[in-house]
A and B are shown apart, each in its own frame.
Chain A
Amino acid sequence: MFIQSWDEFAKQAERLYLNNPMACRFCLKYRNEKLILRLTDNHTCLQYKTKYAQDLKKAEKLMSSLLRHMASKEA
């Protein structure tokens, strides 16, 4: 259910998103002392759970790159 390593999650997330960028959505759920990240394209769902602050930085980077890609111009 939950992917254990961050690198695995990042790799699969990129792959899933580039496969079908229109259908993917990236959700982030923050509740006391826990952060849950989810990337889904309504067929498959990748989830990552963490309680550490250093993972927040990594999640930040991933989020920014996805945001840039989503709002970009494409020919």
Chain B
Amino acid sequence: MLLENDNFLLELTKLFQQQRVKNSGSLSLIMKRYDGRTKPKPKLTKKQRLEQKSSSISHPTTHETVVEYKCLVRAVYGSKKLSTIVSSKDINRFQLAYSNLLKANMDTLKKKAKENKTTGQTSTNTNSNTPLSPRMTTATTTTATTIASSSSSSASNQQKKTPTTPAKRK
């Protein structure tokens, strides 16, 4: 369906809402440059081709015509198809509205996990599966930290045992 710019944006929001509700199917958005032609470009006959060749040789090509291009934007969801044509004077308004629309509606994407710092500080990962490691002054790997933590815990256990035994002896 060929619509006006504003209508297109309205219908596009509806498509995004439908996709959110159904939670299935893909929404495709396509952008392409358009030069306003409504008829297909006919192939030149042999005569016309020869004329074109001779004219281009005699007159060096100096394009002075100003061509105003437009942009064709299409949206497809399932069997629903929308399209609109944006010309250069509407481009500012359309571009703002369009980018706001996309940012607002494409919200099911994940947040990127922060990278671990090399100093061994605890990292706040939203998607990682690594367990929180205790703070170490030296840079170590996670296996080393688990070994270290287990050794430290065993040492503390031994320390706990030694004060009790002299108490019992007494």
Residues in A lying within 8 Å of B, measured CB to CB: 21-22, 24-35, 50-57, 60, 63-64, 66-68, 70-75
| Contact status B102-A60, CB under 8 Å | yes
Q: Contacts A53-B107, A74-B68, A75-B64 known; list 19 others, CB within 8 Å.
A: A24-B33, A26-B32, A27-B29, A30-B19, A30-B106, A31-B25, A31-B27, A33-B108, A54-B112, A64-B99, A66-B31, A67-B31, A67-B98, A68-B95, A71-B69, A71-B70, A71-B86, A73-B88, A74-B67
| Contact status B109-A67, CB under 8 Å | no
| Contact status A50-B66, CB under 8 Å | no
Residues in B lying within 8 Å of A, measured CB to CB: 19, 23-35, 63-64, 66-71, 86-88, 91, 94-95, 98-99, 102-103, 106-112
| Contact status B23-A32, CB under 8 Å | yes
**A-B interface pairs (CB < 8 A), number:** 109
Residues of A within 8 A of B35 (CB): 22
Which 4 residue pairs of A and B lie closest in terms of their CB atoms, listed nearest first? Answer: A31-B26, A25-B32, A71-B71, A70-B33
| Contact status B31-A25, CB under 8 Å | yes
- Take A35-B109, A60-B102 as given contacts and tell me if A21 and B33 are in contact as well, using a CB distance cutoff of 8 Å: yes
Q: How far is the CA of A37 from the CA of B67 in the complex (A)?
A: 29
| Contact status A52-B103, CB under 8 Å | no
